[in-house]
Amino acid sequence: MTDPVNHTILLLDIEQFGRRDDVEQAFMRRMLYSVLHETLRSAGVEPAEQRLEDRGDSVMALISATVPKTGLLHALINETPTLLHANNRLAADSARVRLRIVLASGEVAVQELGGALGGAVGWDLNQAFRLLDSTALREALRHRDGPCVLGVSDSLYQGIVRHGHGGLAPETFHRVTVQGKEGAFPAWLHGEPAPGTPVDTPPATPTPAAAQAPAATQGAATFQFLGGTPTFGGNLIGGDQHTVSGGQVHGDVNTGNTIGGTR
């Protein structure tokens, strides 16, 4: 097994694939690969920069980390739905392809096995497949008229989408919680989630002004002067000072101007 290397992880899965017969499944798989290749081409991904693994009703693409993720996201958001729509127009209703799609990134180790196809392993890869199989993605696709739904990992959203790189619109993504085998984790759904899907509101980042705001006063202060001449901010307080408590000063107070009487 090779040492882990950072990859962009792209997963595509056909909705309700097992309900189709063999002839329909073969046709749908051909469409899946056609759409995938055209999507990667439109994103500028060269053949040498991609590694594909077939998963039956789905396909995994490991893409070189040097390929800009902004181009992949734009292709998945704009090009892939158009390609699916064009292909589905020529297909029978029973063979039309709708896809759940995940884009993530992370460390993946590849283990080539003699006589077997593939062998990629890694925590980030596992989490990407958990997102692909999540209720949030399944329900979102089921409630949409469009041919696909896209989910992205939290790290990819935080590093790319949140900043609007490449003209991406962060407001079109919604934070959801995925319940994986290893525990819950956050992810982001492009477009509106299905009705009833809990949508997380990420905690607001404190502004610098808020972070520097003085703490609220916890209680009244009591000062006692037993002698001497105290000054505050360069102002002299003259006269007798005994106790300042409850807002009453006994004696003469001078803060630049002499004020007599009881304060």
> What are the residue ranges spanned by the domains of the chain?
5-202, 223-259
For 173-193, the pLDDT digits (tens) are 999 999 888 899 999 999 988
Cα–Cα distance list, 213 to 171, 203, 205, 218 (Å) = 29, 19, 15, 15
pLDDT above 70 covers what percent of the chain? 73
| Topology (CATH) of 5-202 | Alpha-Beta Plaits (3.30.70)
> Averaged over 139-145, what is the pLDDT?
95
Please determine, for residue 22, whether its predicted confidence score (pLDDT) is greater than 70: yes
Rounded Cα gap, residues 46 and 40, in angstroms: 8
Question: How many Å apart are CA 174 and CA 194, to the nearest integer?
Answer: 11
List Cα–Cα distances, 189 to 136, 138, 164, in angstroms.
8, 11, 16
Instruction: Render pLDDT for 234-251 as a digit per residue (tens, 0 to 9).
Output: 444 455 544 444 555 455
> Is residue 200's pLDDT more than 60?
yes
Instruction: Give the range among 6-20, 65-79, 106-120, 197-211 with minimum mean pLDDT.
Output: 197-211
Mean pLDDT of the chain: 83
- The Cα-based distances of 46 to 37, 64, 120, 256 in angstroms read 10, 10, 20, 79
